[in-house]
Amino acid sequence: MGRNPVTWLGSPTFPDAARRALGDTQLRGNLRKATTTIRGKRESVVAELDDWEELRRAGESIKDEVLADLDTQLERLEVAVTERGGVVHWARDADEANRIVLDLVQEEDTDEVVKVKSMATAEIGLNEALADGGVNAIETDLAEVIVQLGDDRPSHILVPAIHRNRAEIKEIFAQMPEPPASDDPRVLAEAARKYLRRKFLSAKVAISGANFGVADTGSIVVVESEGNGRMCLTLPETLITVMGVEKVLPRWQDLEVFLQLLPRSSTAERMNPYTSIWSGVTPGDGPQKFHLVLLDNGRTSTLADEVGRQALRCIRCSACLNVCPVYERTGGQAYGSVYPGPIGAILAPQLAGDLHDEQTASLPYASSLCGACYEVCPVRINIPEVLTHLRAEVVEAKGKRTPEAMAMSAAAWVFGDRKRYEAAQKAGSLTRFLARGGTLSSLPWPGSKWTDTRDAPVVPKESFRSWWRRNRG
């Protein structure tokens, strides 16, 4: 089994990547503008539904039901899809999934496929694998086109090019046969339309992800905006859908919950422009060959973690990214994974499954634990809880001999006994001799990490407990 491509090989650790990103004022401006807009909109469409909290609880528990019963649900889905003329494949990891897809494409005797934006295929690095096999995969979602043509990496789950503003997009689109005349978003969208039209009409094979797969009806659901999804799902003769195993829902009825939760949480709309639902193959309508690739790639090992498994409830709405103060400032690429932001910080390390890797191990620390993500998550993933849980796993992986582990042990030893604690307090108050003019503005490392940008409190001579003892003891 190869390295899991869910985190990008060679990425710097989060603090290093963040430092670089923070220096990019254009990026910060773009992100601030985009996230501020969407936050306000999300709040108002969510406020329209009196039963939002009930829907969240239902969403949470349907997903928990799936996880508790995943083997059965997958088998039911397989039966339903097969009965309706689809073919189901299973892939243990990225390599296996990529090989299955490449074989299927080559069977159709084509070297070009159109793609609907899909996190699962981005996670496994499908485009690169197809390119290695001589197949050109054309992304058709506007933001993916921006990323692909810009030779860039995604920085957001829903809008992978969120880090780009209209002027930059115009520059990137200059390489199109018919480049846009201005940076008006309408003109940019028109340019993408023209660029992709021929591709849609001529492609023999399309590749998609899936937002949901319904076990009892075999229905696959793709939620989108632009119509590129509909094009891919209807025009080509062959459709290959790659779906994470956790995307299965038990019952058709469950869609009534998720089709309310998802659009309002992701694009902050009452409903996204287009949702396509199909089941197997429909004679005379749409692709006549349908393949469903069920992907594990670290999901079953995530399932095995009692606390961490809630990350598998995720419906990839990206609400947690949009409200995250860390994400807003560093952007998504700093996380070194197709899954950035709060969900990335808990999902990427679990899927990757290697906390000995410095970069992966830095992700659970990429949060101030402010809890804004948990508050908006439509399936109530307690992201701060999983973050601290994973931090504990990182600490365990690193062992007891790191400077931090030793400092933490020492601190715990001090806090373990009143006398030791009081002695340390007295020693701490000696730092006041470092202070000038009532402020403490320069401490030795690691305190310098604090005093580089902020003054530290001058620890007073008398602690509260000494005062209490003197006055009340």
Partner 1 sequence: MQNGDGASGPPSTEDAGGRRTSGPRVALFPTCLTDTAFPETAKAMVRLLERLGCDVDFPLDQTCCGQMHFNTGYAEHARPMARAYAEVFDGYDHVVVPSGSCAGMVREIHPDLCGTSPAARRTYELSEFLVDVLGVVDVGAHFPHRVTYHPTCHSLRMLGVGDKPLSLLRAVSGLELIPLPQAEQCCGFGGTFALKNAETSTAMLADKMRCVQDTGAQVVTAGDNSCLMQIGGGLSRLRTGVRPVHLAEILASTEEEPWVATP
Partner 2 sequence: MGSARDEILGRIRAVDRPAPPPVPRDYERARHADDPVELLAERISDYRATVYRAAVRELPYRIAERLDGRGRIAVPPDVPGEWRVPGVAWLPDDPPLGVSDMEEVDGVLSGCALAIAETGTIVLDAGPAQGRRVLTLVPDYHLCVVRADQIVVSVPEAIERLDPSGPLTFISGPSATSDIELDRVEGVHGPRTLEVLLVG
Contact positions vs ligand SF4 (CB under 6 A): 157, 265, 314-320, 343, 376-379, 381
- Cα separation, 62 vs 60, in Å, equals 6
| Interaction between residue 30 and partner 2 (CB under 8 A) | yes
Of 118, 367, 380, 386, the one binding partner 1 by CB under 8 A: 367
Of 4, 18, 290, 319, the one binding partner 1 by CB under 8 A: 18
Could you tell me the smallest distance in angstroms from the CB atom of residue 411 to partner 1?
7
Piece of 147-155, 220-228, 243-251, 388-396 that binds partner 1 (CB under 8 A) = 388-396
Which run of H or E residues covers position 244?
strand 238-244
CA distances, 469 to each of 83, 333, 415, 429, 459 (Å): 79, 53, 19, 17, 18
- Name the pairing type of β-strands 274-279 and 219-224: antiparallel
Cβ contact 376:52 at 8 Å: no
| Interaction between residue 429 and partner 1 (CB under 8 A) | yes
| Interaction between residue 142 and partner 2 (CB under 8 A) | yes
Out of partner 1, partner 2, ligand SF4, none, what residue 319 binds, judged by CB under 5 to 8 A for its kind, is: ligand SF4
Instruction: Give 319-364 as a 3 state SS string.
Output: HHHHHCHHHHHHCCHHHCECCCHHHHHHHHHHHHCCCCCHHHHHHH
Out of partner 1, ligand SF4, partner 2, none, what residue 348 binds, judged by CB under 5 to 8 A for its kind, is: none
Of 38, 372, 377, 381, the one binding partner 1 by CB under 8 A: 372
- Report the site for partner 2 in 172-191 (rule: CB under 8 A): 185-186, 188-190
Of 62, 192, 239, 366, the one binding partner 1 by CB under 8 A: 366
| Interaction between residue 51 and partner 2 (CB under 8 A) | yes
Task: Report DSSP letters for 223-235, one per residue.
Answer: EESSSHHHHHHHS
Out of partner 1, ligand SF4, partner 2, none, what residue 464 binds, judged by CB under 5 to 8 A for its kind, is: partner 1
Piece of 260-268, 348-356, 375-383, 398-406 that binds partner 2 (CB under 8 A) = 260-268
Report the 10 Å Cβ neighbour count for 457: 11
- Cα separation, 156 vs 153, in Å, equals 10
The structure tokens listed for 132 are 């290695």
| Interaction between residue 462 and partner 1 (CB under 8 A) | yes
- Cα separation, 109 vs 162, in Å, equals 35
- Cα separation, 380 vs 462, in Å, equals 45
Q: 307-326 mask for partner 1 (x: CB under 8 A)?
A: ------------------xx
CA distances, 419 to each of 142, 408, 415 (Å): 64, 18, 9
Nearest by Cα to 78 from 205, 213, 193: 213
Residues that bind partner 1 in the complex, under the rule CB under 8 A: 14-15, 18-19, 22, 28, 325-326, 329-330, 364-372, 374-375, 388, 390-395, 404-405, 408-409, 411-412, 414-418, 421, 425, 428-429, 438-439, 441, 446, 449-450, 452-457, 459-460, 462-465, 467-469, 472-473
